[in-house]
Amino acid sequence: MVDILTIAVVIVVILVLVPVIQQTAARVRRMRLIRDLEVKRGSRVIALIHRQERMVVLGIPVFRYIDVRDSEEILRAIRLTPDDMPIDLIVHTPGGMALSASQIAMALKRHKAKVTVFVPHYAMSGGTLLCLTADEVFMDDNAVLGPVDPRIEEYPAASLLRIPILKDMGDIDDRTLILADVAAKAQTQMRDFVTTALSDTLGGEKAKEIAALLTGGRWTHDYPITVEEAQNLGLPVSRGLPKEIYRLMDLFPQAMPRRPSVEYIPVPYRKGEREKRKRKEE
């Protein structure tokens, strides 16, 4: 007779192994799809996809951003890519560390073959910085980019720079003055970086104009720059993504609560489907 302890051990093992097996299977499917896309486009495909995930077993939400580990992995992938092989970078991220994003952007800019960035949903902040170094950017019709204005701690650099202007100098504490000084340096550094990133594609004067706009604090940091607005700015942005990229995004599932907040029947409807169904019901 099987005792309760044995049953409990079996249940625990199943609870531990099933998520691991599922994650491994999903990774295999992602690698296969990435390889199919590489063969189709004759390129190295790199996916930088950040979603809120849950740790296995504990179920603790983990929020993902561009960090040092990301930059190390992407730089390694670029080193493994021949100089004459194009790079396709799929970006889905809210942003992250300026240092890590800048390292990736510089490595992409130095790559001798064509660099293309695909944005299926959003590439904000540091993600936009990567787009600015690409030879071409393809976005979904509803995808967005964002400003690349630097932040000092939790404050926008552009806002810190306005404090000495808005207040009498005697009323500002030393810490705020130091933050304003650092903000001025950060804004200049980022503006110069963006200018350099865009100069080969757009020319010097246009690059300076766009760099000042994206780093100057005209918008809030989460302002969505649509495809139309990006094109109006003069960025090398086009519409449309390969269908494989949407399939790849499906294999990076967002952490879900017990009850999903969005529900629908996940099949494409053909034109005239509604009328056919209505006639059938009648």
Q: What is the pLDDT of residue 165?
A: 67
Question: In 10 A of CB 170, how many CB atoms?
Answer: 5
| Stronger pLDDT, 119 or 163, i.e. the higher one | 119
Which residue segments constitute the domains of the chain, with CATH numbers given? 11-146+226-256 (3.90.226), 149-223 (no CATH)
Helix, strand, or coil (residue 190)? helix
Determine the Cα–Cα distance for residues 135 and 145; give it in Å rounded to an integer: 16
- Asked if residue 159 has pLDDT above 60, the reply is yes
Per-residue pLDDT reduced to its tens digit, 29-65: 888 889 999 999 999 999 999 875 544 444 445 557 8
Q: Mean per-residue pLDDT for 251-275?
A: 65
The two three-digit tokens of residue 7, written as one number: 């049953």
Classified as helix, coil or strand, 247 is helix
* Extended beta strands in 133-185, E state: 136-139, 144-145, 151-152, 155-156
- Alpha carbons 232 and 228: distance in angstroms, whole number: 6
> What is the structure's pLDDT at 12?
75
Which tens digits make up the pLDDT trace of 69-120? 999 999 999 999 999 999 999 999 999 999 999 999 999 999 999 999 999 9
pLDDT of residue 173: 78
> Would the pTM count as exceeding 0.95?
no
CA–CA distance, 136 with 156 (Å, rounded to integer): 29
Q: Is 182 exposed, middle or buried (0-12, 13-18, 19+ CB in 10 A)?
A: middle
Rounded Cα–Cα distance for residues 186 and 255 (Å): 34
Q: Name 87's bridge partners.
A: 44, 115
The pLDDT value given to residue 75: 95
- The yes-or-no verdict on residue 257 having pLDDT over 60 is no
Q: Count Cα atoms within 13 angstroms, Cβ side, for 236.
A: 20
pLDDT at 279 over 90: no
